[in-house]
Homo-oligomer: A and B are copies of this chain.
């Protein structure tokens, strides 16, 4: 008989999630982590949400500075190495080899991302051992080099690409 926490973890390992890198721009420079909980919350006005454990460096940066801006980079299957590096606490971060650069206004940019969404933190909601972070998106990069790429997916503790279903049917948008 497994515990509730074990069954919860096991249950979510059977779920699939798109992989992003979330970067918080602080006075001391950018802080980032691989995050698989990013979701669109509202299209008009544009808002997204994600969660981070309160013990992590990203959560600390968010809790320390209200008004900090967040950038969310949706990754493609060509960016597994960047996802892995930002998931390790000792992994290399923000290197030019990974595709990172800094814009004139100081904001980070990641070459090859499928999409880049930016904005200030609108709300930090405490939830168990984590923060649920709401971002009021006020900027979506017009051109992304990875826009035609295959989104990177996290499932069962590994990274995956997408496979067309036997009957691939374009269907109307789902909620959420």
Contacts and interface: CB of A to CB of B under 8 A. Distances in A.
Interface string A81-113: 001100110000000000000000000000000
Interface of A: 2, 4-5, 7-12, 14-20, 33-53, 56, 58, 74, 77, 80, 83-84, 87-88, 114-117, 122-123, 125, 127-130, 132, 134, 137-140, 142, 144, 146-147, 149, 151-155, 157-165, 167-176
A160 B162 CA distance: 6
Contacts of A161: 162-165
Tell which of A17, A80, A142, A167 has the most Cβ of chain B within 10 Å.
Answer: A17
A84 B171 contact: yes
A66 B74 CA distance: 35
A115 B174 contact: no
B132 A134 contact: yes
Contact of A56 (B142, B151, B153, B175): B175
A80 to B, nearest CB: 6
A174 B87 contact: yes
Contact of A74 (B14, B162, B169, B172): B14
Nearest to A115: B11
B14 A151 contact: yes
A158 B168 contact: yes
A13 to B, nearest CB: 8
A114 to B, nearest CB: 4
